[in-house]
């Protein structure tokens, strides 16, 4: 066993983990809207990446693109594994906290953040995905293009139009 190569792989993975973990976590959080679940799914992504890191080829894709593909598959697996209908014992339902944000959460999150989330929620799923890739994963247009199969110029134009539409909707909602 080549311990020098293994040490180098560990150091490289640790550096890439430090650079990309916050982005992957934000992406997961945007997808599941639950801190504990986002943490679990982020851990699963990096566990899969670590197990397969020796197979990663930087010539084929950037680490951000590769880790995003793992994240996207992990979130798809998560939703596929969920039962279609959730049942809750009545005792738990009575004691369950409200899904509505409380005063403290509203104050922390801020009115504008909630409004922006609402505006993003009205976008088509493919448009939401472009926003998540750009702002949660902090991917470049080129990386987004490789990930989605769109051309780089198409990514740029679509993001520009989506952001302009979000801005208009945001301002209109604030006035109304």
* pLDDT digit string, tens, across residues 96-136: 455 555 555 555 457 777 888 888 889 999 999 999 989 88
Do the two domains 1-96 and 101-176 of this chain adopt the same fold?
Answer: no
- Domain ranges in the chain are 1-96, 101-176
The whole-model pTM stands at 0.62
For domain 101-176, the CATH class is: mainly alpha
Distance CA 14, CA 20 (A): 10
> Which residue has better confidence, 86 or 12?
12
Query: Which pLDDT belongs to residue 93?
Result: 45
For domain 1-96, the CATH class is: mainly alpha
> Is the pLDDT assigned to residue 160 strictly greater than 60?
yes
Distance CA 13, CA 110 (A): 36
| Burial (CB count within 10 angstroms: exposed 0-12, middle 13-18, buried 19+), residue 79 | exposed
Q: What is the mean pLDDT of residues 15-26?
A: 94
Query: Which pLDDT belongs to residue 138?
Result: 86
Q: What is the mean pLDDT of residues 143-162?
A: 92
Query: Which pLDDT belongs to residue 151?
Result: 93
Query: Which pLDDT belongs to residue 33?
Result: 86
Distance CA 43, CA 173 (A): 37
Distance CA 144, CA 159 (A): 11
């Amino acid at each position: 066993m080549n311990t020098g190569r293994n040490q180098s792989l560990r150091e490289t993975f640790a550096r890439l983990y430090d650079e990309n973990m916050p982005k992957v976590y934000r992406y997961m959080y945007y997808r599941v809207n639950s801190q504990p679940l986002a943490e679990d799914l982020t851990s699963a992504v990096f566990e899969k990446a670590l197990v397969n890191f020796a197979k990663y080829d930087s010539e084929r894709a950037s680490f951000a693109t590769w880790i995003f593909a793992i994240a996207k598959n992990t979130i798809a697996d998560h939703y596929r594994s969920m039962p279609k209908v959730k049942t809750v014992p009545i005792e738990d339902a009575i004691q369950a906290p409200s899904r509505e944000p409380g005063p403290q959460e509203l104050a922390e999150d801020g009115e504008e953040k909630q409004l922006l989330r609402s505006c993003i929620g009205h976008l088509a799923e493919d448009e939401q995905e472009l926003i998540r890739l750009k702002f949660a994963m902090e991917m470049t247009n080129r990386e987004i293009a490789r990930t989605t199969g769109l051309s780089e110029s198409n990514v740029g134009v679509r993001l520009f139009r989506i952001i302009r539409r979000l801005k208009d909707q945001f301002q209109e909602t604030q006035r109304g």
